Amino acid sequence: MPQLQLEDITLGYGRALVIDELSLQVRPGELVTILGANGAGKTTLLNGVAGLIPVRSGRVLLDGENLTGLPPEQLVERGVVLVPERRELFGSLSVETNLRLGGYRQKAAGAKTLERVYTLFPILAERRIQLASTLSGGEQQMLALGRALMGSPRLLMLDEPSVGLAPKIMREILEVISRLRNEGMTILLVEQNARLALSLADRGYVMEIGRLVLEGPSSGLINDPRLSQAYLGGATDYAAAKAAAYSD
């Protein structure tokens, strides 16, 4: 039974329709990546699954349980945790407070999980009393990931964790993600850096303007010419439109 199943999801902001009848699945223990150029709708998709945007039609199922329409706090309780693109940390609170708040719904396991997060990210332990806003970009990303882990997720979703980070830190974070997958966590990773994401993932989907255009095991995708086309173009034929502009 797949861990996460999206069936014909349609969602968008206000009147704008961003995702149009999209279906995908993530099996237990898999690391699946969603690739695509900026503007393809990847963030919107994750926000919809996390309950931040209403799902207009379709279903979101976790282990067969229908989660469609639940507010974010209840999704977190059921183990669906998102690390958003902008991290959304509490800048004026300390690192440790940020982490503890991540464990808000899992109060019982709190102390143990905190220790685990500190083991994964020693630098956070070092800076535990510092305010979150004083951390560097990479450290903030680690904090965001650590905070998400405090929620003991069954499904961890990451929205472009590598954006704006120096390559070295990027690798550190992706290493942690890989470690988590090896320990059996189910992960849905949205990334712009296709090569890096595919080097970690089991399978990948490629999105373009709200729809999936490509999917398959990562080894296959890496060499697929259609992948670079999704990023660097080549699919639409603009010749006629251009010609018309110069003809009259």
Partner 1 sequence: METVLFLLADGITSGAVYGLVALSLIIVYTVTRVVNIAQGEYVMLGALSFASALQGVFPPLCMPVVGALAAFVVVDLLNRHTSRAEKIRLLTMRAAWIVGVLAMNYAAYRSTGSYWLAALASVATTASLGPIVHRVSVEPAPNASQIVLLIVSVGVYMVLHGTAAMLWGTEPRSVPPVADGGVAIGPVFVTYQSLCICLLSLTAMVALYLFSERTLVGQALQAVAINRVGAQLCGIPVRWAGRLSFAVGAAFSAFSGLLLAPLVTANYEMGFVVGLKGFVGAALGGIVAYPTALIGVGLVGTIESFAAFHASALRDLIVFLLVIPILLWRNAVKPPQDHGH
Partner 2 sequence: MKHSISNKPAALLAACGVFLVAAMLAGVLPPYYLTLLVTVGITALASSGLTFLLSSGQVSLGHAAYMGIGAYGSAILARDHGFPTPLALCAGIAAAAFAALVVGSVTRGLKGHFLPLATLAIGIATPTALIGASSVTGGASGFGQIPALAIGPLDLSSERSLAILVWALVAVVVGGLARFQSSRMGRAVSALNASDEMAQVVGIDTPRLKLWVFVIAGALAGLAGGLYAFYFKFVSPSPFSLPASINLLIACILGGAASPFGAVLGAIAVMGIEIFLQDFLARKLGLPGHVEMVVFGAILIGVLLRWPGGIWSALVRFWPTFTALKPDAGACAELTPSATVGDKPHLLQLSGIGKSFGGLQALADVSFSVGAREIVGLIGPNGAGKSTTFDIATGLTQPTAGQVLLDGLALPAKLSKLVELGVARTFQHVKLVPNLSVIENVALGAYKQGASGIFAGMAGLDRDEEAATFSLAWRALGIVELEALAGVPASLLTMGQARLVEVARAIVSRPRLLLLDEPAAGLRTGEKLKLVGLLHRLRRSGTAVLIVEHDMDLVMNCVDRLIVLNRGRDLSRGTPDEVRADPQVIAAYLGT
Closest CB 168 distance from partner 2, rounded Å: 13
Among 41, 151, 161, 204, the residue binding partner 1 under the rule CB under 8 A is 151
Closest CB 76 distance from partner 1, rounded Å: 3
The C-alpha atoms of residue 143 and residue 98 are separated, in whole angstroms, by 8
Closer CB to partner 2, 150 or 198, in the complex: 198
107 DSSP 8-state letter: G
Among residue numbers 58 through 77, which ones bind partner 1 (CB under 8 A)? 71-73, 76-77
List C-alpha distances in Å: 200 to 5, 93, 116. Answer: 21, 33, 22
Closest CB 194 distance from partner 2, rounded Å: 5
Give me 232's structure tokens. 């660097």
Closer CB to partner 2, 149 or 194, in the complex: 194
Residue 127 in contact with partner 1, rule: CB under 8 A = no
Give me 239's structure tokens. 């010749």
Q: Radius of gyration of the chain from Cα atoms?
A: 19
Closest CB 140 distance from partner 2, rounded Å: 12
The C-alpha atoms of residue 183 and residue 234 are separated, in whole angstroms, by 40
Residue 212 in contact with partner 1, rule: CB under 8 A = no
Backbone angles phi, psi at 203, to 5 degrees: -135, 165
The C-alpha atoms of residue 55 and residue 64 are separated, in whole angstroms, by 17
The C-alpha atoms of residue 202 and residue 31 are separated, in whole angstroms, by 6
104 binds, among partner 2, partner 1, none (CB under 5 to 8 A by kind): partner 1
Residue 192 in contact with partner 2, rule: CB under 8 A = yes
Closest CB 132 distance from partner 1, rounded Å: 10
Residue 52 in contact with partner 1, rule: CB under 8 A = yes
Q: Which residues of 214-238 are buried (b: 16+ CB within 10 A; e: fewer)?
A: beeebeebeeeeebeebbeeeeeee
Closer CB to partner 1, 105 or 211, in the complex: 105
Residue 37 in contact with partner 1, rule: CB under 8 A = no
Which residues of this chain interact with partner 2, rule CB under 8 A? Answer: 15-18, 37-39, 137, 160, 163-164, 192-197, 209, 227-228, 231-236, 238, 240-242, 244-246
